[in-house]
Copies of this chain bind each other. A is one copy, B any other.
Amino acid sequence: MRAVVHVTFKKTVLDPQGRTICSTLNGLGHDNVKEVRQGKYFEIELDGSGEEVRSQIEKIAHEVLANPVIEEYSIEVGD
């Protein structure tokens, strides 16, 4: 089974990398770019199925992949 986890800074947290990319793009002539936010992305292959896998991935995202103090995450569990 395949799961995908996205981790991004909370909206209230400053994203300095994203801001730097945004100003770089503006400097390269992409004046219409207003905001960039950077995040992390994890593809996880694991055995199992259904609700059990979802709650395992939830636990992994919360405890290992993200820092819940400043980051938020979303989970997609597929085939």
Question: Which residue numbers of A lie inside 8 Å of B, CB to CB?
Answer: 6, 8, 18, 21, 24-25, 28, 30, 32-48, 56, 60, 64-65
Contacts and interface: CB of A to CB of B under 8 A. Distances in A.
12 contacts: A8-B41, A25-B60, A30-B56, A33-B44, A36-B45, A37-B42, A38-B42, A39-B40, A39-B42, A40-B40, A40-B41, A41-B41
A76 to B, nearest CB: 12
Contacts of A45: 33-36
Main SS class of interface, A: strand
A18 B18 CA distance: 22
Contacts of A64: 21, 24-25, 28
